[in-house]
Structure 1
């Protein structure tokens, strides 16, 4: 399973998001620390995530990030070097 698919599956199952955007931003980080290099197929080392979920209600920004990091601990221990997170409740996102 590709990294983006694994991220999508885990976040969808745990958070039931009303919006989930997963952007592989690895190409912008070629040559930076943590990038797997030119010979690595598909990148999948740097991601931008937008997650809108009612599961975030009542949680601080830091608490929301901790939830996501915990859900993706396997990916963060392996191929994923960096995550950029935008988290919101449906009300905060205007949905």
Structure 2
């Protein structure tokens, strides 16, 4: 197994009704439960950016949860780019 198989990073852009509906808090709760690190951030264009780092299978589980979202959200799409993992994150937080 290569070292990347255990620690990968995904950059996700979630579109739809995802601001003002507890989406970042929901993302933080799920990611923390899964043991992922990174952040969720509202973007000026109405999307939410999520950086999640950890095991690929756990990031896939996070993606499944994000595609549903919290009760008041309406997720229309998620664009995912796999990027190089880094050591800069120690927890999953909401970025202002």
TM-score of the two chains, using structure 1 as the length reference? 0.48
* Structure having the larger proportion of residues in strand: 2
Larger Rg: 1
* Structure having the larger proportion of residues in helix: 1
